[in-house]
Amino acid sequence: MPLEFDFEGYVVDPSQWTEKVAEELARHEGIVLTDEHWVVIRFMREYYEQHHIAPDARHVMKHLAEWKGGGKAGRNDLFVLFPYGYVKQACKIAGMRKPRAWSTG
């Protein structure tokens, strides 16, 4: 079954997402995925599997900080990885449906 996207480019059915899909979506967004991107994306996918919603950006920042060795990760860290914002790029690349009303990017 072909992957279906909404009119803004978000995956309609997150269960159909694969890492290959993420690579293609990232390429479309002009992002070359690094290990740090994958840490964020895989965390988002695990969170989605457990909670059936996309994680709030603060949870992602906390996970990223722990991965970096316990320092602090802030919005700027996410914007370095996803320059057009957490919702616009990270959620899209991780195969999330578009979150309804977030102010995190």
The per-residue pLDDT for range 30-85, each reduced to its tens digit, is 999 999 999 999 999 999 999 999 999 999 998 988 888 877 767 788 889 999 98
Q: Does the pLDDT of residue 102 top 60, yes or no? A: no
Does any domain span residue 5?
A: no
Does any domain span residue 41?
A: yes
The Cα–Cα gap between 46 and 2 comes to 23
Q: What is the pTM of this model?
A: 0.88
| Contact assessment for residue 81 and residue 36, using Cβ atoms and an 8 Å cutoff | yes
Does any domain span residue 72?
A: yes
Q: Residue 38: CA atoms inside 13 Å, Cβ hemisphere, count?
A: 9
Task: Indicate the residue type of 57.
Answer: A
The per-residue pLDDT for 31 is 97
Range of the domain at 40: 19-93
Does any domain span residue 43?
A: yes
| Contact assessment for residue 11 and residue 95, using Cβ atoms and an 8 Å cutoff | yes
Does any domain span residue 102?
A: no
| Higher-scoring residue by pLDDT: 99, 39 | 39
Per the DSSP assignment, residues forming a β-bridge with 5 are 11
Q: Does the pLDDT of residue 20 top 90, yes or no? A: yes
Per the DSSP assignment, residues forming a β-bridge with 11 are 5
Domain tally, the chain: 1
Does any domain span residue 54?
A: yes
Q: What is the CATH number of the domain that holds 73?
A: 1.10.10.370
Does any domain span residue 49?
A: yes
Does any domain span residue 70?
A: yes
